[in-house]
Structure 1
Amino acid sequence: MQQFQHYIDGSFLNAAAQFDSLDPASGSVWAKMPQATPEDVTAAVDAADRAFNAPDWAQMTASHRGKLLHVLADLIAENAPRLAELETRDTGKIIRETSAQIAYVADFYRYYAGLADKIEGAHLPIDKPDMEVWLRREPIGVVAAIVPWNSQLFLSAVKIGPALAAGCTVVLKASEDGPAPMLEFARIFDQAGFPKGVLNVITGGPDVGAALTSHPKVAHVAFTGGPDTARHIVRNSAENLASTSLELGGKSPFIVFEDADIESAVNAQVSGIFAATGQSCVSGSRLVVHASIKDQFLARLKEKAEEVVIGAPDDMQTEVGPLCTERQRDTALDLIERSLAQGAKLITGGQPVEGEGFYFQPTILDCSEARNADSLSHEFFGPVLSVVSFETEQEAIDIANDTAFGLASGLFTKNLTRAHRMIRAIRAGIVWVNTYRAVSPIAPFGGHGLSGHGREGGLQAALDYTKIKTVWLRTSDDPIPNPFVMR
């Protein structure tokens, strides 16, 4: 039975209470996690606030911050096997994916390490001849970063990386569902040489999140999760007027035209919905396929879905592991049953896998005759694909945009002019053309509508952790002639 601790003000601390963490592959308890109290939240925020104002961080050059981030990136790369093992054990994500993803996470920290001394202000060509005016970009303050259990090392990197590059300090709340990798990440961070209090890591349930996001010393909240929780965060931020960046859920359309390379599109769709057991905010969970190729496409897709290797997440041969929680498994089953009652047709799957753990069959529902089925509007966060067909380009656009979400989208066609028309017409923060689920530290991502606001990744993310200070310098030595006239 492994025991984990909070990381506050540069120290590893036991909590007054603990909670059990379940292994999704077996459903059994494997570790004890610390349960934060309101006092722990206050201690973590106070530590971050002290660190933000302390000379060893506040006066540190941007170049020096970048060097520390480089050290952190190297430590992540060195410890990637351990982090991958813990993420697989605590969340059920397959080891093939956690190993590859964590190795790439180091590159996100390297990107922000290089960006730290390139966050620039500006000189203004002001309309007053005796003034010099410029803008300074300064760190916004203490950041509350809240991440879900899925892809948490990646989702925290696109918050911690730009925040530290900009000179902020961070309190990270790891999800109560599978926090082990983030609590282990704190041990790696502790070795990188940052001043104490620059990063603090705690975990716990909604009450911890509420205390953190409403804390008067928190200046910005960076959240990844669902719209319902985001609404609570926005209400909480009314207490401290913190700015927010919200990366929320999705119901992403995966559009396939009749001229697409079918085998390539099928492979991308399989990866887009069944990779990570469908537990990804950018899952291509709505297949929008041209009616002329629908039967051919679905036949090949069904074949591939039924060939998927379901197994233990720590087995390198496994392609689909368990869902993270029993709650998710039950939610998926309930949504499928409701959608079938609403007229959807089951192509394959649709049931939990018998035996231990929270496994679920890769599932395909044909909703072409059931356009109001819940499976087309609700985010499953599981391996469930809903299919609709279309006849015209405008119909494909209408179906793609018939959602309150707007995070990601996929488009498969060989027609370049059509692709450009679709790119303009689709309401989503990301459009992948003839590919899917590609990411890079250089490219920002984020959504619209119920998928949130703000962007993570790229230069813009670092700028979002800064505030503008306007500086006026009078260059004339002459006395100011009239103190009652605005100049």
Structure 2
Amino acid sequence: MTTDAGLTTATVRRAADAPPLISADDLPPARHFVDGKFLDGSTERVIDVVDPSTESVIARIPEGTSEDIDRAVAAAVAAKASWARLVPKDRSEVLHAIADRVAEHTELLAKLESANTGKPLAVSRDDVGMTIDTFRFMAGAMRATTSMAAGDYAENHLSVILREPLGVVGVITPWNYPLLMAAWKIAPILAAGNTLVLKPSEQTPLTTLKFAELVADLLPAGVLNVVNGYGAVAGARLAEHPDVDMIALTGSVNSGRAVARAAADTLKRVHLELGGKAPVVIFPDADLAAAASSLRTAGFWNSGQECGAACRVLVHESVAEEFVGQLVDEVRALVVGEPQAGEDVEVGPMVSKAHFDRVTGYLERAKSEGVRVATGGGALDGPGYFVAPTVLVDVPEGAEVAREEIFGPVITVEAFADEEEAVRRANDVPLGLSASVWTENARRSHDIPARLDFGTVWVNSHLVLASEVPWGGFKGSGYGRDLSVYALEDYSRTKHVMHNHGS
């Protein structure tokens, strides 16, 4: 596989003459949201919230402590009994009202999300749209849950299966999709009859706080609580708290390990949606143009800061050269820029300086190890944490960039010789969240996905999601499912009640 060695070819489109995305009036209160109201923290320490496009501070939030978590958990405990007693219809109407409220403020939330994360407005609007759909789906699904039929399974004894809330759920959400990942947790947790305490990422808390502000009058006090802070303090206390019945996290593998360890002493349930390293397996009969076009989106959506991103191409050696050429053409056409620099901007910055350094570090090590840069390959000039959309080729089996989650605008390309090698190499990563298979062969389209060790496998597409179907992984990607009725099951428990009706 050969290509012209490429230097960084992209430039960042700036928005020097554009008005700011948000004003001070658009910001949520820079406080914790506990027991239905915004409250100051227990200390005066604050965390800077940075716009990654400009590196300027746009807000300061309180640095939450164990005491702040304890106060929020106490509010959730006090509210759980009355919320759990509501019949499904009543809880459903609240979730529909939340969806309506979010829909009314779509543009505000999208601009706030882009200002905080740097993501293009198209991505932020998509996040808000799916947030609305998540609440609407859960509002309906909670009214149509099914279970084992009541009946006599032992002579003269009637068995009835009840589905009950767990109680209080602790939630820790990531920086890459702060509003949407909060919705993926909040909606089924509330639908199942639980209350919750949520800790957003300290880097991107603004849309979560704004969401709490917008829906405060729709929920009873204490049902939804938001505490800002760092994972090592606020997140750890939430995971270990004896009055929290379950901890649910979307985040890194290391964060998942820390949460699981902290939860172990109280034997609470743990729900982990962690990282991914999605292989894209392209066979010689695939529509190569369609695959390259799909990867333009699926590999670089949210600047590649996406756990399901199409980041690792395994392409048959007979079509590798042709496919790489088409992929590079697509990637070089991507528009990189600040979110207010135009509706056609497709790729924004990395979320923080630390993550920017991490991503560029992977690229520098790959180049030093002889991996070839087909396009991109490094940082872009100017303020902000921008990295050029990158395609790396001639990637050897087992290379760091082919095994570890870079979580940036980077696609690696490897070649394989036959089906057995493709399956073996696709599975030879510690993560198992998602994958895709590209082929026009009907047998192969069923056989290969069945042999891939990933929670979602797309055929001839990638990164297509729907609220009706589950999302979650295997192996190092964690356990538990977001979206679908399976999420409702995760956030509830079954109870068997048996009645002796014999004489």
Within-5 A mapping of 1:268-347: 268-314=294-340, 315-347=342-374
**Contact kept in structure 2, 1:258 and 1:413, CA below 8 Å:** yes
What is the deviation of 1:408? 0.5
Residue 361 in 1 paired to residue 388 in 2? yes
Give the Cα separation in 1 of the matches to 2:247 and 2:162: 22
Alignment deviations for residues 9-45 of structure 1 (CA, whole Å, 9 cap, x no partner): 0011122332111100001111111221111100111
Structure 2 counterpart of 1:197, one-letter code: G
Q: Alignment partner for residue 443 of structure 2, among 417, 439, 445?
A: 417
- Paired amino acid for 1:321: G
The aligned residue for residue 201 of structure 1 is 226
Structure with the bigger RCO (C-alpha within 8 Å, sep 6+) is: 2
CA distance in 1 between counterparts of 2:455 and 2:50 reads 34
AA matched with 2:167: G
Question: CA contact under 8 A between 1:120 and 1:137: conserved in structure 2?
Answer: no
Contact kept in structure 1, 2:184 and 2:483, CA below 8 Å: yes
Which of the numbers 116, 120, 142 marks the counterpart of 1:90? 116
- Matched position secondary structure for 2:136: helix
Aligned mates of 2:435, 2:162 — CA distance in 1 = 37
Deviation at 1:122, TM superposition (A): 3.5
Does the CA-based 8 Å contact 1:121-1:134 persist in structure 2? no
2:30 corresponds to 1:4? yes
Distance 2:271 2:200 in 1: 17
Q: Letter of the aligned partner of 1:461 in structure 2? A: A
Q: Distance in 2 between matches of 1:384 and 1:267?
A: 15
Match of 2:264 in 1: 238
Q: Pick the aligned partner of 2:101 from 72, 75, 82.
A: 75
Paired position in structure 2 for 1:100: 126
* Alignment check: 8 A CA contact 1:217 1:240 kept: no
* C-alpha deviation, 1:470, in angstroms: 1.4
Alignment deviations for residues 330-388 of structure 1 (CA, whole Å, 9 cap, x no partner): 111111122222231111111111000000001111144x2232101111110011110
Cα contact 1:146–1:174 (8 A) shared by 2: yes
Tell whether 2:60 aligns with 1:32: yes
* Residues 273-301 of structure 1: per-residue CA shift (max 9 Å, x gap): 11210000001110111111111111121
Q: Is it true that 1:153 corresponds to 2:186 in the alignment?
A: no
Higher mean alpha-carbon deviation, 339-348 vs 208-217, is at: 339-348
- Alignment equivalent of 2:211, drawn from 181, 185, 203: 185
Once the two structures are superposed, what CA deviation does each residue of 1:67-89 show, in whole Å capped at 9, x if it has no partner?
11010011111111111111100
Q: Does 1:23 align with 2:51?
A: yes
CA contact (8 A) 1:291 1:390 kept: yes
Structure 2 residue runs without a partner (length 5+)? 1-23
2:485 to 459, 467, 480: 459
2:192 is equivalent to residue 176 of structure 1: no
Q: Comparing 174-183 with 117-126, which one deviates more in the overlay?
A: 117-126
Q: Find 2:77's aligned residue among 21, 45, 49.
A: 49
Please list the CA deviations of residues 125-175 of structure 1 after superposition, one character each: whole Å capped at 9, or x if unmatched.
Answer: 444433222111100110011110112222122211111111011111100
Moved more, 317-326 or 124-133: 124-133
2:148: which partner in 1?
Answer: 122
Partner of 1:403: 429
- Give the stretch that moved more between structures: 119-128 or 161-170: 119-128
Maintained 8 Å contact 1:92/1:321? yes
- What code does the residue aligned with 1:330 have? D
Say if 1:143 and 1:163, in contact at 8 Å, map to a contact too: yes
Asked if 1:113 is matched to 2:119, the reply is no
Whichever residue aligns with residue 376 of structure 1, its letter is A
Unaligned segments of structure 1, at least 5 residues: 479-487
Question: Aligned pair in 2 of structure 1 residues 127, 440: CA closer, same or farther (>3 Å)?
Answer: closer
Q: TM-score under structure 1 normalisation?
A: 0.95
- What do the CA deviations read for 1:411-433 (whole angstroms, capped 9, x no partner)? 11111111111111111000011
Deviations 1:427-463 (A, max 9, x none): 1000011111111110001000111111111111101
Secondary structure of 2:339's partner? Answer: coil
Q: Match for 1:430 among 456, 462, 481?
A: 456
**Cα distance, 1:205 vs. partner?**
0.5
Residue aligned with 1:322, SS: coil
Structure 2 residue corresponding to 1:394, chosen from 420, 428, 436 = 420
1:445 corresponds to: 471
CA distance 1:382–1:50, shift in 2 (3 Å): same
Superposed CA RMSD: 1.4
Q: Does the aligned pair in 2 maintain the 1:145–1:170 contact within 8 Å?
A: yes
The corresponding residue for 2:10 is none
Counterpart amino acid of residue 360 in structure 1 = V
Matched residue SS, 1:436: coil
Instruction: Give the number of equivalent residue pairs.
Output: 473
Question: Is the contact between residue 48 and residue 142 of structure 1 (CA under 8 Å) also seen in structure 2?
Answer: yes
Change (3 A) 1:208 1:117: same
1:120, distance to aligned residue in structure 2 (A): 4.0
Aligned residue type for 2:62: P
**Contact 2:159–2:497 (8 Å) recurs in 1:** yes
What's the CA shift string for 1:206-233, capped at 9, x where partnerless? 2110011100011111110111111110
What is the TM-score with the length of structure 2 in the denominator? Answer: 0.92
Q: 1:391 to 1:128 in 2, by over 3 A?
A: closer
Query: 2:84, 2:165 within 8 Å by CA — same for their partners in 1?
Result: no
